Structure 1
Amino acid sequence: MNDPLSFFFTAFTTLFIIIDPPGNIPTFIALTESLNKELIDRISKKATVIATVILLVFVFAGWAVMEFFSISIEALKIAGGLMMFIISIDILFGRKSREIYEERGKMSAEIDSIAVFPLALPLYSGPGAITAVVVLSSSADLIGKLLIVVAVLLIYAIVRLTHIYAVTLMRILGKSGSDIIARVMAILLAAISVEYVMDGVLSKVGLA
């Protein structure tokens, strides 16, 4: 990691696009629209904390998990790149998977369970985000890992703010505005995904 600022920007941008706080505002509203303000706040706090903890664990323990399952970083980059590419396609085509999460959330017997599923997992700390932090931390020293932690904390602070001001933001952005932002980010995510796959393949064959 030669340039800490560049590394932080890459980590923040990659995770922000995958976690997609603005794009998840409609889903959050859809899952909580029938609840009172106190319950919405409780769900928001719980989902944000759970998602944050999950990613922070993988920043520092991701390698241990990979070693336990005998997974190479090259394989993870390829798998993660393909996974993130699928996520980008999902976003570009309107996030059809969100419809499933919303329906399951609405049918949930316990309000608090919405915070765990589908908010914390998989919307805010899904496979794409987990893969990204593991790949990013694999090439980082202690300073780099701390920069990833800062990026994660900053992104989830933004997530929390989008929950607090969800209705206002939706009124400003509108459904079409939110969709446009999500799709532009999806194109960037697709490009990052291709880079991950190419880097993993080239490293695997010894050309990188």
Structure 2
Amino acid sequence: MVEVFVTLFVIMDPVGTVPIFLSLTAGRSAASARKAAWQAVAVSFLVITIFAFFGQQILTNLHISLPALQCAGGLLLLLVALELLTGNEKEMTAQADANVALVPLGTPLLAGPGAIVATMLFVKDIDSWGSGLAVAVGIVAVHIALWLAMRYSLPILRLIREGGVLLVTRIAGLLLSAIAVQLVADAVRAFIAGQG
């Protein structure tokens, strides 16, 4: 359980999610931001659970390799990062709450290729009820941590005000673009190594 929790915690990065969450929910009411936080965590949990049970079958039936999934997630994150960097995030935040909670928060930011692949590998190694329960508890614990991080990011928003949010938005865009490029680079390396 500890291994699952630590691995997914590092990949899904609840602390690193906070500035991106603040950027995407800027200008919304506290209730709306709280709703987006829970929707994003619910979507992430649903996606991770589906891939835990059916991931390998889904990818096999669609003839999709793990590097291809990773590259697609990276490109999608890069689009979001560019909007944050260029100041076009207002278009995203002007959309319905569910849109931001589903994409990019729920997936591919939280339930991204890294988290999906890690979960699929943990599920592959399950050999008893005990190890299965440990994986399940680890996944639930990470999602609780994600929700807590986003839920209590709202007091931070009140503290840093609008100018601070603008700064956080640009920093979040830069970090997110780096994550996206790393995902694509890892996928390209896997393709070159013949894993795709």
Query: TM-score, normalising length from structure 1?
Result: 0.66
Aligned length in residues: 183
From 55, 58, 61, give the equivalent of 2:47.
58
In the TM superposition, residue 137 of structure 1 has moved relative to its aligned partner by 0.7
Tell me, yes or no, if structure 1 residue 78 matches structure 2 residue 68.
yes
CA contact (8 A) 1:162 1:169 kept: no
Report if the CA contact (8 A) 1:14-1:189 is conserved.
no
- Aligned twin of 2:110: 129
Q: CA deviation at 1:103?
A: 3.0
Identity across aligned pairs (percent)? 10
How much does 1:10 deviate?
Answer: 4.2
**CA RMSD across the alignment:** 3.6
Q: 1:91 aligns with which of 55, 60, 81?
A: 81
The one of 178, 181, 185 equivalent to 1:190 is 181
Q: How does 1:32-181 map to 2 (within 5 A)?
A: 32=28, 35=29, 40-41=30-31, 43-62=32-51, 63-64=53-54, 67-68=57-58, 70-71=61-62, 75-88=65-78, 90-91=80-81, 94=85, 98-105=89-96, 114=97, 116-118=98-100, 120-132=101-113, 133-141=115-123, 142=132, 143-170=134-161, 173=164, 175-181=166-172
List 4+ stretches of structure 1 deviating above 6 A: none
CA distance in 1, matches of 2:86, 2:54: 32
Deviation for aligned residue 1:169: 3.5
Whether the 8 Å CA contact 1:79–1:197 is kept in 2: the answer is no
The normalised TM-score by structure 2 is 0.69
Tell me which amino acid in the other structure corresponds to 2:35: K
